[in-house]
């Protein structure tokens, strides 16, 4: 598995070390494999402060690491007891937050096949989608990536090995607490299932592999559909020519790609319904971690409060400048857009959001118009206005995204010009 994950010599592996039988076995195995693979090994333990034994566990982990010559990183964390998702979830969040702070290439966990089967069943009972049913991956690339080398091994086999190797470990008394839903599954439900279906655990683990594969294919389909819709921002009419299922798949995939959690199915169903009934009209649909925006034939997702940067972004002739969730491209043109010479003479050129009192004259001989009037005339919806990029040149608006160039800055015929294009 280490070879499959392409763990290279000198890469830094950090075992997430609870001190339990699984991560203790894992740590000992990796310590033995260290000379053969040439990786650097360390271990991290998170002290949640929830058990009266937490100090003793931390000391136990420190001693084990010292005996194996493995660097040890202890984390003492506070867990909120009033977390809306419950104490277990709060502890997990804190644990993963602490482990993410370890400088390493791979975090290595002691999850095994029984954990995988329990995770799958637990999630199915809560109505999970394909992504959740895919459960845990043995190799999850990332920075750091995650490895679960024991994912194909049964819990009982790990214990047998640990006993045969005379390893010592600690038992977390909370693992026996039937008030935790996971423990109820482990101690009551799985023994019953196992008696009736002896191969249930490996079969469930296998099923999660099938779900993982199918989920990967849905990701491929979403990527193909996005490409066929012209890439982000998508062409709205092409997206809506797809079936509802595929539109939802695209939205779900993009939200995850942006680091958010996919909203509940009912919410996505409603979003697609609204997209279809709005036809061509501008639309702004909050979807949890992101907002779905549709405007002038284009559709995109953006973080709800990340429309425009708060601070001016100085422009020093770069071809591309970031703007909120998108970019502004400055394309070289001749006889169109903004005159380059005037921009080069200016002292202060920056991309900024609209400011109070902003006005712009679109054509010589026509009056200056307020930002609000310009937006109304162009049919720009109120939600999009704070996000519009404005190129401010020595205090004057030279260009406003979606509106255009100010007459005073327009490039003369045959002159070198630059045309800003806002891509959301
Ligand atoms: N206190 C801890 N400090 C460091 N690592 C831990 C700690 N607790 C658990 N781990 C790591 O997580 C693995 C799984 O532990 P456990 O089954 O208790 O957690 P889980 O909540 O089911 O999993 P996950 O945290 O991945 O959701 C362990 O084998 C170990 O690698």
20 assigned ligand-binding residue: yes
In the chain, % of residues over pLDDT 70: 97
Return d(Cα 220, Cα 6) in angstroms, integer: 23
Nearest atom in ligand 1 to the alpha carbon of residue 57 is 1
Looking at every residue in the chain, the average pLDDT score rounds to 92
Token pair 């903004």 is at which residue? Answer: 338
Q: Are 418 and 373 in contact (CB under 8 A)?
A: no
Mean pLDDT over 372-394 rounds to 90
Which residue from 343, 417, 424 is spatially nearest to 388, judged by alpha carbons? 424
Q: What is residue 113's three-state secondary structure?
A: helix
The ipTM of this complex is 0.94
Superfamily, domain 12-205: HUPs (3.40.50.620)
pLDDT, tens digit (0-9, with 9 covering 90-100), for 324-381:
878 899 999 999 999 999 899 999 999 999 999 999 999 988 899 999 999 998 888 8
pLDDT at residue 306 tops 60: no
Q: Kindly state the tokens that stand for 42.
A: 């360390």
Q: What is the pLDDT of residue 49?
A: 84
Nearest residue (by CA) to ligand 1, atom 17, is 111
Q: What's the order of all strands across the beta sheet hosting 234-235?
A: 234-235, 298-302, 290-295, 283-287
Separation of CA 18 and ligand 1 centre (Å):
6
Ligand 1 pocket (Cβ < 6 Å) reads: 16-18, 22-23, 44-46, 92, 95, 109-111, 115
Structural domain spans, the chain: 12-205, 229-302, 313-423
pLDDT, tens digit (0-9, with 9 covering 90-100), for 35-79:
999 999 999 999 998 888 899 999 999 999 999 999 999 999 998
Q: 370: Cβ–Cβ under 8 A, 6 or more apart, which residues?
A: 358, 359
Phi, psi of 337 (to 5 degrees): 70, -145
pLDDT, tens digit (0-9, with 9 covering 90-100), for 76-129:
999 888 888 788 889 999 999 999 999 999 999 999 999 999 999 999 999 999
Ligand 1: which of 110, 135, 170, 175 to mutate, judged by most atoms within 8 Å of the beta carbon?
110
Q: What is residue 105's three-state secondary structure?
A: coil
Q: What is residue 48's three-state secondary structure?
A: coil
């Amino acid at each position: 598995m280490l070879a499959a994950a392409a763990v290279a010599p000198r890469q830094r592996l950090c075992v997430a070390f609870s001190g339990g039988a699984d991560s203790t076995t894992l740590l000992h195995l990796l310590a033995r494999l260290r000379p053969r693979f040439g990786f650097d090994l360390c271990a991290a333990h998170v002290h949640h402060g929830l058990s009266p034994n937490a100090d003793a566990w931390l000391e136990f982990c420190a001693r084990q690491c010292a005996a194996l010559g493995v660097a040890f990183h202890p984390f003492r964390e506070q867990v909120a007891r009033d977390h809306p998702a419950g104490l277990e979830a709060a502890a997990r969040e804190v644990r993963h937050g602490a482990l993410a702070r370890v400088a390493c290439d791979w975090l290595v966990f002691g999850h095994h096949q029984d954990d995988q089967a329990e995770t799958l069943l637990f999630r199915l009972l809560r109505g999970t989608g394909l992504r959740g049913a895919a459960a845990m991956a043995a190799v999850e690339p990332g920075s750091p990536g995650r490895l679960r080398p024991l994912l194909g091994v049964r819990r009982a086999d790990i214990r047998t090995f640990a006993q045969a190797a005379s390893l010592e470990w600690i038992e977390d008394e909370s693992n026996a607490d039937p008030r935790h839903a996971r423990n109820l599954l482990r101690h009551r439900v799985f023994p019953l299932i196992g008696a009736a279906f002896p191969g249930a655990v490996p079969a469930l683990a296998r099923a999660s592999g099938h779900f993982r594969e199918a989920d990967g294919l849905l990701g491929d389909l979403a990527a193909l559909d996005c490409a066929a819709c012209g890439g982000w921002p998508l062409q709205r009419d092409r997206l809506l020519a797809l079936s509802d299922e595929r539109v939802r798949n695209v939205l779900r995939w993009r939200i995850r790609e942006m680091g958010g959690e996919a909203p509940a199915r009912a919410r996505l169903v409603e979003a697609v319904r609204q997209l279809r009934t709005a036809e061509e009209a501008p639309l702004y649909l909050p979807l949890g971690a992101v907002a779905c925006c549709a405007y002038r034939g284009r559709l995109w997702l953006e973080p709800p409060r990340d429309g425009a940067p708060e601070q001016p972004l100085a422009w020093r002739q770069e071809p591309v400048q970031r703007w909120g969730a998108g970019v502004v491209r400055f394309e070289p043109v001749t006889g169109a857009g903004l005159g380059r010479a005037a921009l080069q003479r200016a002292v202060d050129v920056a991309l900024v959001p609209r400011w109070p009192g902003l006005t712009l004259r679109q054509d010589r001989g026509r009056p200056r118009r307020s930002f609000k009037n310009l937006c109304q005339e162009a049919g720009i919806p109120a939600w999009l206005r704070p996000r519009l990029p404005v190129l401010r040149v020595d205090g004057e608006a030279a260009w406003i995204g979606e509106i255009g160039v100010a007459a005073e800055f327009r490039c003369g015929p045959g002159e070198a010009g630059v045309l800003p294009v806002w891509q959301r």
